Structure 1
Amino acid sequence: MQIRTRLTIQFGLLVSGILVVSFMAIYYFTYLNTVEDFYDRLRSKAVSSAELLSEPKIDPQLLKVFDRSNRNLIYNENILIFNERNRLIYSNTDSLSIHVSNYWLNEIRRADQIRYRDGDYYVVGIYNKYAFGKTVVVLGAQDLYGQANLDNLRTMLAIIFLFVTAIVAFAGLVFSQRALLPISRVMNEVEGILPQNLSTRLEVPNQQDEIGRLTTTFNKLLDRIEYAFRIQKTFIANVSHELKNPLTKMSSQLEVSLLKERTQEEYRTTISSVLEDIQELSQLSNSLMELAKVSENQREMLTDRVRLDEILWDTRTNLSQSNKTYKILYAIEELPEEDTWLEIIGNATLLRTAFINLMENGCKFSDNNSVLVQLIADQKSIRIEFSDTGKGIVAEDHNLIFQPFYRGINTANVKGSGIGLSLVERIIKLHNGSIAILPNQPSGTRFVLEFLHF
């Protein structure tokens, strides 16, 4: 069901419900007023009849004639007057339509005045006391006039209800169509946006209403989609370039070797160079797989409680053994009061990968192949700094250095794929940490990691 139809139905049901409740209230209170008014007229007529009959000079037959000539919109009235012995002393008709028992007569004397229904008849009973005696007057009649007015009112309310409901349904359909027209326009514009024209943005007529906010949200979503597509294209282009270089080098060396006979030493040199390129290609593919695996949403990978000082020490030992020229200085400025201040919930393998990249970068870009690792821990957070003495990273590259395959202007003479820092940033964010780049004095770069305790 379309929203326009649903809104029309809901609006129609709401207005119809209000009309039903209102009309029922009107009819109910009109009915009460009609009944009360008729009982008042019956009571007045009963009192008048009793007073006339109490006069000694008034003949009962004359009173009957008077009753027939003065109905006052009281139809089929039955006037009954009883004495103290419950004997009927006056009746205005020979055919009674109401039934009066001794019980009701005694109730009238006890309460002085009562009223009740007897089929279609409204009945009032009055205990009349005057100088010559006491009588009970019972007057019953049909309110045909009031019933006709109630029937007319019910018919009129039903017609008004149907007429107003039809108008409301039509008006709801028109106004819902007008209200949803901007959404239809937005839908048509969104359908026209293809991967080839992701730079297109929706027009925002009014940023204050809901449609304007929805359009703004769509534009922000398009910004993120365009950025993702751009990153994907850049990533694919960089991957193609990085894969093409070692493959081209290997192919060229092998083709040159096949042009003529070579000495055993020349073949050995060529094979060693090709193996080096293969290792570079293997390292690149492993980095790409690790980069694809690590995401901020993969919190299920964080299963253990790990100590960062132990991971740093193991990483330093392994990296020093694999490359004897690297010098990794490790320092803890102040021992924490509690060992738990050095622990976080994380994945030791991923953290070791991040620390290796930062240590290796520090050693590669320092003139003396050294990096200083400092650890500071307190009750609130753990802070780790990696400081090198290289040329440093220019300020313009600080916002770009964590993008895959991006390499700064000072890294042209050092081998690398530009994936390491991007992988480090993802691992740190996965562990609810932060990474920042600061200049090192007097030269070099300082990477600052911070993990908060929760």
Structure 2
Amino acid sequence: MKIRTRLTLLFTGMTAALLLLFASVVYFSFSQDREEEYYKNLRQQAVTKANLLLDAKVSPQVLQLIYKNASGSSSQEEVAIYDTAFHLLYHDAVEIDKVKETRTMIREIAENGQISFHTGQLQVVGFLYAHNGNDYIITAAAQDEYGLFQLHNLLWTLVGAFFTAVVLVFLVGQFFARQALKPVSDMVDEVEEITATNLDLRLKNDSKDEIGELAVTFNAMLDRLEQSFDAQKQFVSNISHELRTPLTAMMAELEITASRERPAEEYRQSMRHAITDAQQLVKLSNSLLDLAKASYDPSEIHFREVRLDEIIMDARRDILQAHPEYKISIVMEEANDDSDDDLISVTGNEYLLKVAFINLMENGCKFSHPPETTVTLTWFKGHTILRFADEGIGMEKEDLPHIFDPFYRGRNHRFVDGNGIGLSLAMKIVRLHRGNISVASKPGQGTVFTVELPHV
């Protein structure tokens, strides 16, 4: 069921319930007032007839004649007068006797002063009447034809008005629901035009209500999707380029070697070149896998409390095993109290942090001559701070805004081999740990990478 129809039915149902409640209150209020008013009218007419009998001394035969000749016998009140000993003093129509008074009824009227009830369509009232020092019991019964007719007309009027109002409310509700949800329908039409080939399209946003907020949120999502698609295209393009270079070099080297018979030393040299290219491919593949891991949803990565000094030492050991010629110095600032463990502990993933630190250390060593870098571990307020400093060739000012972009290589790339993934990977890992990474560098004066991580 569409929202428009659901809203219309909900609105119509609520309005119908309110109208039904209102009509019920009006009907039952009118019915109660009519009944009470008619009881009063019966009592008044009965008292008038009793006064004619007791005060004016009108004979009972005359009163009975008036009763019999009155038009509309069902609406003409039937009056009976008794004394308190249940002796009948007067009755309009004894042979009919609509009320059929009993001694118990007379006793109840004498005790309570007045009773009223229904017998069929008739309303009956009985009351104690004091006259000239004597007590009389008077009963009167009649049918309120005019009042019941009005009540019946009121019922049909309310029923007709109720159903007419419900139909009108449904139609009006349909119109207003269509108007209220028209921006949503327009938004659906616009969204259907957006595909993977035209992610640059955006939803129109001419209002500041909830629909406008939805359009803004959807446009923001499209911005992220477009950026993701563009980054993916760029990523695939860069991967293709990076993989093509070592593969082409390897194939060319092998084809040249296989083109004719060569001495054993040339074959060994060719294999060494192929191994070097293969190692570059392995390193690139490992970097891409690490980059993919760093791009995971944080909820999919296992975090626990780890010590940064231990991770740095492990990273240093791995680098020196692969590159014994590198020199990596680690400097730790001393704490003034016993909270040293807490200051250098963070909540994170040990493997990913180690990958980030290895990339930063290797980056410092590769661009320094001799290959040397210094890691300083300190802390300030709620953050643990690591500085990776070298005194190498530094970076140009134009390169600094792009060094964390995947596969970007600055103007100094001609000095060393690389694939441009390491710094981008380090940044993703640091941000995954709710940290921040920055760089300061000048050509010929070295580079300093600063990593800030919230400690435990």
TM-score normalised according to structure 1 size? 0.92
Q: Which moved more, 1:359-368 or 1:49-58?
A: 49-58
User: Equivalences for 1:191-202 in 2 at 5 Å?
Assistant: 191-202=192-203
Look up the match of 2:136.
Answer: 135
Q: Which moved more, 1:390-399 or 1:100-109?
A: 390-399
Q: Which amino acid aligns with 2:367?
A: F
Look up the match of 1:155.
Answer: 156
The change in CA–CA distance for 1:194 and 1:442 in structure 2 (over 3 A counts) is: same
Look up the match of 1:423.
Answer: 425
Q: Which amino acid aligns with 1:118?
A: T
Q: Which amino acid aligns with 1:224?
A: R
Query: Which whole-Å CA distance do the structure 1 matches of 2:446 and 2:306 have between them?
Result: 30
Q: Secondary structure at the match of 1:367?
A: coil
Query: Which whole-Å CA distance do the structure 2 matches of 1:132 and 1:431 have between them?
Result: 104
Instruction: Report deviation, 1:416.
Output: 0.9
Q: Which amino acid aligns with 1:410?
A: N
Q: Which moved more, 1:136-145 or 1:101-110?
A: 101-110
Look up the match of 2:238.
Answer: 238
Contact 1:388 1:440 in 2 (8 A): no
Look up the match of 1:406.
Answer: 408
The change in CA–CA distance for 1:334 and 1:442 in structure 2 (over 3 A counts) is: farther
Query: Which whole-Å CA distance do the structure 2 matches of 1:305 and 1:119 have between them?
Result: 88
1:140-199 C-alpha deviation (Å, 9 max, x unpaired): 211222111111111111111222222222222233233333222222222122222222
Look up the match of 2:64.
Answer: 64
Query: Which whole-Å CA distance do the structure 2 matches of 1:395 and 1:70 have between them?
Result: 117
The change in CA–CA distance for 1:84 and 1:398 in structure 2 (over 3 A counts) is: same
Q: Which amino acid aligns with 2:162?
A: F
Contact 2:395 2:412 in 1 (8 A): yes
Q: Secondary structure at the match of 2:277?
A: helix
The change in CA–CA distance for 1:318 and 1:122 in structure 2 (over 3 A counts) is: same
Query: Which whole-Å CA distance do the structure 2 matches of 1:237 and 1:269 have between them?
Result: 32
Matched, 1:449 2:451: yes
Q: Which moved more, 1:417-426 or 1:432-441?
A: 432-441
Look up the match of 2:122.
Answer: 121
Matched, 1:84 2:84: yes
Q: Which amino acid aligns with 1:427?
A: I
Look up the match of 1:376.
Answer: 378
Look up the match of 2:43.
Answer: 43
1:371-421 C-alpha deviation (Å, 9 max, x unpaired): 121112467332222122234345554443222212223333221111112
Aligned length: 453
Q: Which moved more, 1:129-138 or 1:339-348?
A: 339-348
Contact 2:129 2:136 in 1 (8 A): yes
Matched, 1:96 2:97: yes
Instruction: Report deviation, 1:283.
Output: 0.5
Instruction: Report deviation, 1:232.
Output: 0.8
Contact 2:124 2:140 in 1 (8 A): yes
User: Equivalences for 1:243-262 in 2 at 5 Å?
Assistant: 243-262=243-262
Contact 1:390 1:445 in 2 (8 A): yes
Query: Which whole-Å CA distance do the structure 2 matches of 1:334 and 1:37 have between them?
Result: 99
The change in CA–CA distance for 1:149 and 1:449 in structure 2 (over 3 A counts) is: same
Query: Which whole-Å CA distance do the structure 2 matches of 1:422 and 1:246 have between them?
Result: 21
1:244-283 C-alpha deviation (Å, 9 max, x unpaired): 1001111222223234443333332222122111100111
1:83-125 C-alpha deviation (Å, 9 max, x unpaired): 1211111111130111323333223222323322233222222
User: Equivalences for 1:254-403 in 2 at 5 Å?
Assistant: 254-335=254-335, 337-338=338-339, 339-377=341-379, 380-394=382-396, 396-403=398-405
Q: Secondary structure at the match of 1:324?
A: coil
Query: Which whole-Å CA distance do the structure 1 matches of 2:396 and 2:71 have between them?
Result: 111
Percent pairwise identity: 38
Query: Which whole-Å CA distance do the structure 2 matches of 1:54 and 1:399 have between them?
Result: 117
The change in CA–CA distance for 1:164 and 1:395 in structure 2 (over 3 A counts) is: farther
Aligned CA-pair RMSD:
2.5
The change in CA–CA distance for 1:398 and 1:111 in structure 2 (over 3 A counts) is: farther
The change in CA–CA distance for 1:168 and 1:299 in structure 2 (over 3 A counts) is: closer
The change in CA–CA distance for 1:449 and 1:5 in structure 2 (over 3 A counts) is: same
Q: Secondary structure at the match of 2:333?
A: strand
The change in CA–CA distance for 1:123 and 1:348 in structure 2 (over 3 A counts) is: same
Query: Which whole-Å CA distance do the structure 2 matches of 1:394 and 1:72 have between them?
Result: 115
The change in CA–CA distance for 1:189 and 1:300 in structure 2 (over 3 A counts) is: closer
Contact 2:70 2:76 in 1 (8 A): no
Instruction: Report deviation, 1:27.
Output: 0.8
Contact 2:84 2:106 in 1 (8 A): no
Instruction: Report deviation, 1:72.
Output: 10
Q: Which amino acid aligns with 2:86?
A: N
Look up the match of 1:20.
Answer: 20
Query: Which whole-Å CA distance do the structure 2 matches of 1:378 and 1:201 have between them?
Result: 44
Q: Secondary structure at the match of 1:195?
A: coil
Contact 1:381 1:451 in 2 (8 A): yes
Contact 1:440 1:446 in 2 (8 A): no
Query: Which whole-Å CA distance do the structure 2 matches of 1:312 and 1:73 have between them?
Result: 113
Instruction: Report deviation, 1:42.
Output: 1.2
Query: Which whole-Å CA distance do the structure 2 matches of 1:106 and 1:373 have between them?
Result: 112
Q: Secondary structure at the match of 2:77?
A: strand
Query: Which whole-Å CA distance do the structure 2 matches of 1:387 and 1:120 have between them?
Result: 106
Contact 2:126 2:139 in 1 (8 A): yes
Q: Which amino acid aligns with 1:366?
A: S
Instruction: Report deviation, 1:76.
Output: 4.5
The change in CA–CA distance for 1:265 and 1:163 in structure 2 (over 3 A counts) is: same
**Structure 2 unmatched runs, 5+:** none
Query: Which whole-Å CA distance do the structure 2 matches of 1:56 and 1:266 have between them?
Result: 153
Query: Which whole-Å CA distance do the structure 2 matches of 1:392 and 1:124 have between them?
Result: 113
Q: Which amino acid aligns with 1:234?
A: Q
Query: Which whole-Å CA distance do the structure 2 matches of 1:441 and 1:51 have between them?
Result: 127
